[in-house]
Amino acid sequence: MSDNPTRQSPPPSRADILRREILDKVAEYYQVAHQGEVFVPGETFIHYGGRVYDERELQSAVDAILEFWLTDGPRVAAFSEALEALLGLKHILTVNSGSSANLIAMTTLCSRQLERPLQPGDEVITPAATFPTTVAPIVQNRLIPVFVDCMLGTYNLNVALLEAALSEKTRAIFVPHILGNPVEMDAVMAFAQAHDLYVIEDTCDALGSQYDGRYCGTFGHLTTFSFYPAHHITTGEGGAVGINDPHLYRIAHSVRDWGRDCWCDHTSPREGECRQRFDWEIPGLEEPYDHRYYYTEIGYNLKMTEVQASIGLPQVDKLPALVAARQHNFQVLYAGLKPYEEYLVLPAWHIKADPAWFAFTLAVREQAPFTRHDLNDFLQQHKVETRYLFAGNILNQPAYRHIAHRIATPLTETDRVLKSAFFIGVYPGIDDAQLKYMLYVFDTFFRERGLA
Ligand SMILES: Cc1ncc(COP(=O)(O)O)c(C=O)c1O
């Protein structure tokens, strides 16, 4: 017997060797096929958002394909854990989109398993300047959205109007951090506590944004994230619900997974982690029933897949750098557009907010001698992508004109958003040369009209 206790690792298998070769080739492929688009001012389109990735995301996705687990598996678990650690949330429930996350969050609060579930006809306070799938789950759960006005500049719900929106039926606040700009969550939570309301934070646009030194998404009872490519990190399609409370987590998990009560993972023993898998009573049946087919919620199947999570994993590591790039781009645009404040409302944020900006939002002032359309048309013609601020006023959208709702206070600012707001990109795919060109296009627009 040798004196040296060092054990030699077994030689790599043929499969391991092939896998390594494939992943090396993928890195090479990335360099050849995904790199090297040279920015040509006036010719290259400057998108407002998009995937930001390198060979690691490609390798990770191919690796997941080689393993071919496909459905929710170890990579999904690792991705959830990485986000839990980052945000300091107890549970991250991964899903297939931010819209699904919103649906699950709202549906969870309507569960019969809660002591005081939200009931049809109960009211949920939310801003009218919003993304449609923040309002859709309120309507889908037969609840009544109560719309409050926003503030031009921050584009967030005006917390000073919460009191006016309150009624005996108010049970929850669904609050989006619009375009990465943190809402005053201390005020929202104090109001919610005073009136025993649930709070859902729609953090789909605001992963990495902070308010008062805390991540957005860590204040409310439930929070939602989107990993669509324009967002801070991407999994292609994808999203998550963040939850601290274990009971709410169990319900949300069930709503995501067909409504079934069983929470065991794929690798759990035959009798389940609870050791009671075949021990469930169903009325009208003398024998016990299988927990895997025991439904305590009216649910969906909204799960994330391994390939999605495999792309998300390297993205989580990159989040600080991605946020820093967004903040840098925002600052450059802010400084460059400051001279046009007479005509454009520049973004505003709360003193306690540290936004991980989703985009750079502007509103054309009423007295400006040009319209939003004029400016957007000019920008688009010069290859700078613009977008309007989501639904503007959701009540003006065809699908939402006829929904049961209540308007708490006049939606004056929201209507200004509808008429005059738009955004341009700050995502990390925009570099300094592109920022310079974007500002040059603005300068040209103003110069041509004798306004600069
Ligand atoms: C505020 C807000 N909520 C929800 C969503 C929906 O996310 P997803 O596109 O992943 O469904 C978005 C999408 O960008 C959003 O901006």
Identify the structural domains of the chain with CATH numbers, from first to last.
63-307 (3.40.640.10), 319-448 (3.90.1150.10)
Gyration radius of the chain's alpha carbons: 25
231 catalytically annotated: yes
Of ligand 1's atoms, which has the minimum distance to the CA of residue 227? Answer: 10
- Residue 112 CA to residue 93 CA, distance in Å, equals 20
201 in contact with ligand 1, CB cutoff 6 A:
no
Q: How many CB atoms lie within 10 A of CB 257?
A: 19
Percentages (nearest 5) of helix, strand, coil residues in the chain: 40, 15, 45
205 in contact with ligand 1, CB cutoff 6 A:
yes
Cα 127 to middle of ligand 1, angstroms: 15
pLDDT at 273: 77
Confidence band of 35 (pLDDT split at 50, 70, 90): confident
108: its two tokens: 């969870």
Q: Are 126 and 146 in contact (CB under 8 A)?
A: yes
277 has pLDDT over 90:
no
Q: Are 407 and 126 in contact (CB under 8 A)?
A: no
E strand or H helix that includes residue 175 = strand 170-176
Q: What is the pLDDT of residues 96-139, one digit of tens each?
A: 999 999 999 999 999 999 999 999 999 999 999 999 999 999 99
Cα 226 to middle of ligand 1, angstroms: 6
155 in contact with ligand 1, CB cutoff 6 A:
no
431 has pLDDT over 60:
yes
pLDDT at 6: 66
- Residue 325 CA to residue 414 CA, distance in Å, equals 30
Cα 437 to middle of ligand 1, angstroms: 29
145: its two tokens: 């959205």
Residue closest to 157 by CA, chosen among 451, 429, 414, 332 = 414
Sheet with 421-425: list strands edge to edge: 344-345, 359-364, 421-425, 387-388
Sequence-distant (6+) residues with CB within 8 A of 213 are none
400: its two tokens: 């939402």
> Which mutation among 154, 204, 304 tests ligand 1's pocket best, with the greatest number of atoms within 8 A of CB?
204
Residue closest to 234 by CA, chosen among 416, 24, 56 = 56
Of ligand 1's atoms, which has the minimum distance to the CA of residue 176? Answer: 1
Q: What is the pLDDT of residues 179-229, one digit of tens each?
A: 999 999 999 999 999 999 999 999 999 999 999 999 999 999 999 999 999
Report CA-CA distances (Å) from 114 to 92, 107, 263, 301. Answer: 20, 11, 18, 21
Report CA-CA distances (Å) from 143 to 20, 121, 193, 239, 379. Answer: 53, 5, 20, 23, 40
What average pLDDT does the chain have? 96
pLDDT at 8: 81
Q: Hey, whose CA ends up nearest to atom 8 of ligand 1?
A: 98
Residue closest to 322 by CA, chosen among 82, 136, 52 = 52
pLDDT at 3: 52
DSSP state, 289?
A: B
96 in contact with ligand 1, CB cutoff 6 A:
no
